[in-house]
Each structure stands twice: as structure tokens, then as C-alpha cells.
Chains A and B, each alone.
Chain A
Amino acid sequence: MKVLLSWLREFVDAPGRPEDIGATMSLRGFAVEGIERLGDDDAVIDFEVTGNRPDCMSVIGIAREVATAFRLPLREPPQLFPLTTVDRSDIIDVVIESPELCPRYAGAVADVTIAPSPDWMQRRLRAAGVRPTSNIVDVTNYVLLELGQPMHAFDHTRIGGRQIRVRTARAGEVLTTLDGKSRELSPEMLVIADAERAVAIAGVMGGADSEVAAGTSTIVLESAYFNPLSVRRTSKALGLKTEASVRFERGTDPNLPLLAMERACALLQQSGGGDARGTAVDRYPRRIESIVLQLRRSRIARLLGTSIPDAEVRHVLEALGFVLRDSDEGWAVTIPTRRVDVTREVDLIEEVARHSGFDRIPMTFPPLTAAPPPMDPRIVLARRLRGLVAGQGFSEAVTFGFTAAAAAEPFADGEAIVPIKNPLSEAFAVLRPSLLPGLVESAGRNVRRGQRDVQLFEIGNRFTQLDGEVQSIAFVWTGAGRPLHWSERTREVDFFDATSLVATVAGALDATTELRPLNTPPLFLVAGQAAEVVASGKDSGSASAVPVGLVGRLAPEVGEVLGLPSEAPAYVAELAIEPLARFRRTSLKAFAPPRFPSVDRDISILVDDTTAAGSIRDTVRGLAIADLAGLREFDRYGGKGIPEGKVSLSLRLTFRSPDRTLTDAEVQNAMGDVVTALKEKHGAVQR
């Protein structure tokens, strides 16, 4: 709300420089967005008026706040043209068909000569950011700015039947508004009509056909109160916001229209624009009365944490126009109808606090009456994972929760993706079904900026139609798998770097992982280097196994789409945290380290090169050798010296008994069983 200082000073003797006034009002709830100096002794102060204070979208509203803040008297509007209200009038009649939507409508007629308005008026309008048009329209705008009552002027000759009907629009009714646009109205919209057709959209904008123009000699002035919700809905539906609509939709003062009309008629006369006939038809079928609220002294102290002297309470509220009557516990307060924001006791306490100053409130602490609860385990877990993964060399990324449809598509089935109804742009059109599109984009940005080796992770939520919101952790790794060092050759990241990280994360949550090849993986993974991660509890075995995520090499074409150049391979993984976290042990029974030595035995076998290492491991485990403590592949070799289609696999088996030192014969026996089983199951030949 741009307020011209000299205009403000017609209502209150605001002291000091505009900056001082602005600084004081900022601490009363009216932040200053800017001050524009006009010459030496005038200025425009642009106050930010919060949405709950339509009464301050006017000079007098701001003046009342200034008067309260500086403890100065407030003057009433200077000149009024007294109007006699009549029930019927020959020259204009008003019929309200929808009193719910229009509780009050006043109309008055004036004879006018269209001309530019006087300079002083034009200057004030301009200062407030309103473009002057003609003396009549300028007067209505002047009243709007000064008192906060939106008004409208119709050309009397264009009001058919000399009758104003406030009614809802007829289905399909069309009105060309002042801005020249033809608008189709719907039956929930309130219009101002003459005997035949709509001439204005109530509270929003007038019609072009009934507009005051150069030849207009008689006008009908409208000053009304419209239902805020109705105006808001109409304005929204039409996509049409005006100075009038923003005030009506927040709530104007239902008891202001007649005063505003008298002010307008006085200004009309003063500016030489014309003369009011002297009567007004004021229909007020739904009278809106002031409410009375109880304000308890004790409640003020309880809410603010400090007590405010009675005299101060009374001063502040009376200066703002509230009427106070003493009651047992405090006051009975009559609320002016302009104060649409004050509907409960707490609203009055805010008024008192606002003007007695928030800085007077002391600083204390809320008493702790119960033991603090432990931190949300979900947050604790995310913190630990963050530390763990950062320790593995990954930097944490934070990416948006939405992405472009094309970016999401390789990561989820089309029907699983959740679209946003009103996206800001194509780039943010769907909720991310995976953290990976954003992570890969981030990696791509780094690579394009010359960072060759990039390791990023993110912890966050992904969204799908079926599962809703799912917390997960995801990684992308491109560039060196082993950093450059003078002592050895570097190498690019590979599949087993990626799975190592997956195992580390799962292990930290007490889960063990098993990888199952995906021969037809989702589009974002390369077939042949893609696996499903299946987790199970450390102690519970594979019976409890659940799929928790995917790992593999990023499909280069998907990387390209997301801006990650395809020259270097990139590996990605994503794991759902919650199913993994279920494996965390809630209690742990520690064991002492084994007392007896273990024995290692290595064997090398020839098997088909399509035989999965996992199946060989399963075969050995299937023997259920009691003292087998460990099993690990330590070499895999194919090529020269190995028959076509075969591969040499070397296994190290570790044997240990908890209660004695194993004999060579025992171990040899077990190894014999292993070799036999591998031969039977896999046709393995020992080398």
C-alpha cells in the first residue's frame, strides 16, 4: 500500500522523517518495502499490508495505526456530502436478489460533466500508483485509496429500466469488461445487472457498455459490501484481480458504503465534476453487527509471558477504534466491523502486544516437564549412513524431489510415476520415482565442468503411485575406481566397486546382501552388469531375504539424456532404507574371539564359464560342513591354458572348530566332500 505522506497527514500529524515513521510502523506490523522522496517535504511510503488487514489497504487505515503507534489523535475524513437515504427513487431502484452474496448495496445518482480531475487529485492517485482517467473514475479511485471502499460509476443512460439488480449470472451470460475482454460468466458469479442484462461483475470489474465516457451526463455511483468468498471465487475463476477485488475478497467494512458515498459526492463537488442529487438508495438486507469479545487480563499475561498495565490495554484498543467496557476479568470489547481479522480474544491480545511492543516481552524458557525423548531413529539412521558413506569417499548431494518426465521414465514404469498437476515447468513435471535421475544429473554437471572423478550420494524420498513415499539412499560413481598414484596403475570404477559400497551400507545395518543378476534390467541399467540386491539378516539367513534395491552400470544413453557424458562408465545403486533397517539387531550378544586356530585350504577348479560363483558357493554351503568358517573366491582366470568355454576358479576354504584344533585328516575329509559335490553339481574338474 503506497501512502503519500501529505495525504496521511490529513488524518494524523505523523511526526518526523518518513524513514522514522517507516521504522516505527515496521515494528507495529507494517513492514516498509520502500520510501520514495517527493521533493523536500513529501514522500511515498510503501507499506506491506498483511492479508488479514484489509482495513489498512487505505490511507485512513494506515493513519489509524500511525495515530495509535505515536499516541496521536486521528482526524475523520474532512468533507462529506450529506445524503438522504430513501427507500425508493424515481431515478434509480436497487433490488438485491442474492442477499447472501451482497448483504448491502447503495446507489446514488449525480449529474456530471466529464473532464480531467484536478491536478492535486491526479498527483495523489499517481503517487499511490493509480493512473488518472477522468474526474468521475478518479473520484471513485480516490475514495478507494482514502477509505478502502471500492466504488464504481455507471453511465445512468446505460442502466436499462433505471433499475439495478444484484443477482447471480445466468448460465452462458457474457459480459465485456472494462479491459475490453469478453467474459463468459457462470451461475455462481454475482453480477450487477440492469433490468435486462449484466453490467458489471460484482466487486471485480465493471462492464464496458455501461462505462462512464466522454458524453456521460448522469452517473449511478455504487458503494456496496460483497461476500468476500464470492468475490474471491469469481476473481479466481476469471483470473481477474483488481484493486476492488483484492479488498472485497479480504473483507471490506459493511458499514462503510454510505460514508464512502458521501465522501465521493463531496469530492465530486469539490473537484467540479458534478453534483449529487442528494439521495441514496441504501439496501442493507443482511445487517452485519459488531461483535463483542471478552478480553481477560490474565489471558494477556499468560500468552505474552508478561502483564500489560490496564491503562495501556485500554489506550491501544481505543486508539484502534475498539470500544471497551470493564468486566469482571477484564473488558468486554466491541469490535468495529472493519476489523475482519479480530474474531477471538487472542486477536485482541495480539493488538495489545503489537502496539505495546514485542520488545517489551521478556526472554524466558518453557519449563521441561517430561524427560526428553530419544531422537527419531529414522533421523539417527540417516545421520549414521551419511557419515559412513562420506567416509567411503562420497560427497552428499541434495537434489529436487521432482524431475522431468523424460528423466524419470528409465527409472520406473510409466504408470508408477506420479505427475504434478500444476508443474512450474517441464523440468519439474513429475515426482522422482528414484533419487538417481537427480544424482546422475548432478554427476553430469560435475563431469561437464571438468571434474573427472565423481562420487555422489543422496538420502531422500522417492515417490510412486503404488508405494507412495519411500526413503532411500542412492549413489553414483564415475571416473577412477582407484585414484591416481605414482605407485600403481589407476583404473576406472567397475561393478565390484559399486557392490562393495552396497555391501558396506547393508553391513552397517546388520544385513548381508546377495546379488541376483537381472538379465532384462530396467532401462537405466546395462544388461549383463545389473543386479538386484537382496538382503537378509546376519543371523537369520536367507529365509528372511527381501529385495532392497538395484545396482549396476548406468546405461550410457540414459546418462546422456541426463547430461552425463558417456565416455567414462558410471555405476549406480539405490537401496530402500526402511526394509534394510529392519535387519538392525536390537540387542547383541557378544562372543569372545575363537580360541583355536583355523586352517585354510585352497582349491582350483575348472567349470563352465557361465557357472555363477554364487551357485558354487551355495553347493559348498549346502554340504553343511560344521567347521567351515569361511569361503572366498580369490582367483578367476580364463583364456590361455584354459579350455574354451571354461574358467578356472580358485576358492579358499577356512575351517575352524570352536572347541579343538582340527586335524589334517578332518580337513582333508571335508575337502574331499567339497570336491565331490562340485564335480557332481557343476562338473568341476580339480586342477
Chain B
Amino acid sequence: MSTLAPDRSTIDALRADFQVRLAAAGTDAAVKTLADEFLSRKAGSVTLLMKTLGTLAPGARREFGALLNSLKEEIEAAVEQRLQALAAARPPAGAVDVTLPARERPVGHVHPLMQVRQQVEDIFAHMGYDILEGPEVEDDFHNFEALNMPPDHPARDMQDTLYLGSPIPGATWGARAGGVPDAQVRAATLLRTHTSAMQIRYMKTYPPPIRIIVPGRVYRRDNLDLTHTPMFQQFEGLVVGDGVSMADLKGTLETMVTALFGEVKIRLRPSFFPYTEPSAEVDISCHKCGGAGCGICKQTGWLEILGSGMVHPAVFEAVGYDSDRVTGFAFGIGIERVAMLKYGVEDIRLFYENDVRFLQQFPSI
């Protein structure tokens, strides 16, 4: 080292070396060691160079003396700055490691069928509907007879019914405890095949006009497969009043499906239900392909979504309404069907397996 003579390139090299190594020095100790290596009184490389200044000619001595002095100050300042930066980066005493994982509180998720149900309830609540539930165990009168399906009616075959081994106490309808007289309490003999049974209970209790939505579980003697379960959920809509028309039905249904699926069109196809006349199956334009045809809609552009119609006068007569004075519409829609279309679920059984990994993908509330 003592042979070193101060020249510009040596000084520049020292500076460059220092800067690189300072940047890499991550602790106070490393910074101090580095500072010593350059500036220590005995063996600092800058110090050593300074000691050689005496051997130089006065002109060069002055020149290189100034350069070395400035390098020394530079290093001292950089070291100080670095030490401050390190101090600033150091967590304060008692600091926690904020990057450690949070304590996980389990978050529950509302069942997707219930989310759809609540959405539908809200859509109709905004349109001024009364939302209420009815009993799941029913009697023949409410489930069939009053809905224009007298005993031996062939249409009863359309809904394969599950009967109870023996009658049990019938519900007074469960809703509005105290607010509603027990219209038609009869011993329950079957599991309701549709929420339409509640139409009858409501109409027997209240005079027109009425507009109600009845969500709930219904039962059919169906085997489990991709699209069937022996229990599923429906909601039934019923609007009765002076001059309620099929045009009103169409307008209402379009509002509902738009709220559920976005901008879709509806199409009514004539069909048959004993309790409505005219009756219509309702399709929506496929929300996936916009009606152009895709796998979801089996290339038809349309998806069958619900059944509906104008309340059959025989139903009004069964509940004591004047069928010449009032008209009304009714519709029924499967909640699973809506959920399957909305969420692209192809196997209805997933809704009833309650696998938490399935449930947790839906919004938590």
C-alpha cells in the first residue's frame, strides 16, 4: 500500500468501491467496518493515501490533498447518512411483525338458495308485495281441491305427491302470529307440492286486492338427479284485483327477470295448469349468449324459467271471490332453477350437499 501514489484514477476507484460496498452494508456494524476500512487512522485506505502526499511535488500535493480531503468528507457524510437511514428502517422497540397472518375468524356464508330467495323477496317487496310463508305440510283441499284439482283430476299426476302416514296437526299457516285468523285449519295429510297452496289460505282470509309472494320448500316424489331433488324451493306470486290482466303479468315478470339476470327478454308460451287460464310457460332470452344460441340454452337462445297464468275462475270461486268481478295472475318459479342459471351450476344436488367449499364461494351475506 505504501507504494501507492495518489492519482486521479486511484481516488476514483476508491470512491466507486466505497459506494458499492456502502449500498450493500445492511447493518450498523457493517457500515462502521466499512468506514474503518477507508478512514481508520492506522490502516484506512484513504488515510494511507494521504500519508503519501508528502512524497509529492507541492503542486501535486495541493491538488491531490484537496481531492483526498473531499473524498474523506464525502465518505464521512455518506456513512452518517447511511447510519441514519438504517436507524429509520429499524422497527421501534416492541414492534410487532405486521406481516404475520391475522387471526382468522371463521366467516359464515348464507346459502346461495337463500341469497336468491332474499333477492327475489326484495324485488317484490319494492313492488309493494306482501311476502309471507305458508305451512309445508298441507291438506288436500289447499294443495289440490281449491286449486281446481278435485279428487281424481288427471293433473294431480303432474305432481307426484308425498303423503303422510297419518294426519298431523295442520299449521294455521305459520305467518303473522296473531295477525291472521286461522283460515281453514285442517289436519295435514301431505307435503305440499307447490307454494300455491298458500294462495288459498291468503284469499280465504283477505278480500281483494292482494299481491303476495310466498317463498318456501315444496316436495315431489322425484328421484335425485342432475336437475331434480325430492325437495326444492319455490316462490309463488299472486296478484288479484279489479282488472288485473295478462299484460300486467308480462310487465311484472319482465321486471323480475331483468332484476335477476340483467337485460333479458321474456317470451310466454301457452301451457296448461289447472289453476290458471290462460296458462303460460315463460322463457327468458339466454343471458349467456344474448339469444344467439349456446350450450347453456341448448342452441335455442331461450331458457325455460317459470310457469304462470291468469288465475282460474274456479280458484276464485273456491275461496269465495266473485270471479266475474276480480281477475288475477299467478306465477311460480323454482329458486334452484334461478340459482343454477345465475351461477352456472349444472348439478342441483350441489345445493343440498352443503360442502362448505361450495358455500363459501358465494358472498358471505
Interface, chain A (partner B; CB < 8 A):
26-29, 31, 50-53, 229, 232-233, 249-250, 302-306, 344, 346-347, 349-350, 353-354, 358-359, 361-373, 375-379, 383, 386-387, 389-402, 418-424, 428, 431, 442, 445-446, 449, 451, 453-457, 460-461, 463-469, 471, 483-487, 578
| A486 lies within 8 A of B108 (CB) | no
- Which chain B residues lie closer than 8 Å to A367 at the CB level? 241
B114 within 8 A of A: yes
Tell me if B9 is interfacial: C-beta within 8 Å of chain A. no
Kindly list chain A residues whose C-beta atoms are within 8 Å of the C-beta of B221.
422, 424
How far, in angstroms, from A109 to B211 measured CA to CA in the complex? 61
Asked if A463 and B137 sit within 8 Å, CB to CB, the answer is yes
Point out the residues of chain B lying under 8 angstroms from A232, CB to CB.
152, 154
A451 to B358, CA, bound (A): 12
| B residues less than 8 Å from A461 (CB atoms) | 136, 217
B272 near A303 with CB under 8 A, answer no
Residue B135 contacts which of A371, A383, A469 (CB distance < 8 angstroms)? Answer: A469
* Closest partner residue, chain A, to B255 (CB atom): A365
For window 203-221 of chain B, which residues contact chain A by CB distance below 8 Å? 209, 211, 215, 217, 219, 221
Is B49 an interface residue, CB under 8 A from the partner?
Answer: no
A372 adjacent to B130 (CB under 8 Å): yes
A366 touches which one: B106, B244, B365 (CB < 8 A)?
B244
Tell whether, in the assembled complex, residue B154 and residue A358 are in contact, meaning their CB atoms are under 8 Å apart: no
In the bound complex, how far is the Cα of B360 from the Cα of A455, in angstroms? 12
> Given A302-B327, A359-B268, A366-B211, do A398 and B356 touch, yes or no (CB 8 Å)?
no
B94 interface contact, C-beta 8 A: no
| Contact A233-B152, Cβ < 8 Å, known A346-B277, A485-B104 | yes
Contact A392 B352 (CB under 8 A): no
Interface centre among B113, B136, B360 (most CB of A within 10 A): B136
Which of B30-38, B165-173, B286-294 makes up part of the contact surface?
B165-173
Say yes or no: B137 contacts A468, CB within 8 Å.
yes
Contact present for B357 and A451 (CB under 8 Å): yes
Of the listed stretches B17-25, B53-61, B72-80, B121-129, chain A binds B121-129
In the bound complex, residues from chain B placing their C-beta under 8 Å from that of A368 are 128, 211
Measured CA separation A275–B230 after assembly (Å): 54
User: Are B106 and A390 in contact (CB-based, < 8 A)?
Assistant: no
- Once the chains are docked, how many angstroms separate the CA of A31 from the CA of B271? 9
Q: What residue in chain A is nearest B248 (Cβ atoms)?
A: A366
Docked-complex contact B154 and A51, CB < 8 angstroms? yes
- What A residues does B111 contact at CB under 8 A? 395-398
Whether the Cβ atoms of B154 and A366 lie closer than 8 Å is: no
Q: Mark B350-365, 1 if CB is under 8 A from A, else 0.
A: 0111111101100011
Known contacts A420-B162, A455-B106; is A363 also within 8 Å of B269 by CB?
no
Report B225 CB to chain A, min CB distance, Å: 12
Return the contact of B247 from the options A363, A445, A485 (Cβ within 8 A): A363
User: Which range contains the number of B residues in contact with the other chain?
Assistant: 35 or more
Contact of B118 with A383 in the complex, beta carbons under 8 Å = yes
Which of B105, B108, B165, B174 meets A395, CB within 8 Å?
B108
Within 8 A of A (CB), among B109-156: 109-111, 113-114, 118, 121, 125, 128-133, 135-137, 152, 154-155
A393 and B209 in contact, given A303-B310, A304-B245 (Cβ under 8 angstroms): no
Bound complex: CA A483 to CA B106 (Å) = 8
For residue A392, which residue of chain B has the nearest CB?
Answer: B108
How far is it, in angstroms, between the C-alpha of A308 and the C-alpha of B318 when the chains are bound? Answer: 30
Q: Does B163 make an interface contact (CB < 8 A)?
A: yes
Also in contact, A395 and B217, with CB within 8 A (given A354-B278, A376-B133): no
Task: Let me know if A396 and B105 touch, CB within 8 A.
Answer: no
A372 with B250: in contact, given A393-B105, A424-B230, A487-B103 (CB under 8 Å)?
A: no
User: Can you offer 16 A-B residue contacts whose CB atoms are under 8 A?
Assistant: A26-B269, A302-B243, A346-B312, A346-B313, A350-B270, A375-B125, A375-B131, A378-B132, A389-B108, A396-B110, A398-B351, A418-B165, A421-B164, A442-B353, A445-B355, A457-B108
Given contacts A346-B310, A469-B174, 18 further A-B contacts (CB under 8 A): A26-B269, A31-B281, A249-B154, A250-B154, A303-B246, A350-B279, A354-B278, A358-B268, A379-B175, A389-B108, A390-B364, A393-B106, A402-B231, A422-B162, A446-B354, A453-B106, A455-B108, A486-B101
Most chain B beta-carbon contacts within 10 A, residue among A50, A233, A464, A487 = A50
A578 in complex: contacting residue of B176, B177, B229, CB < 8 Å: B177
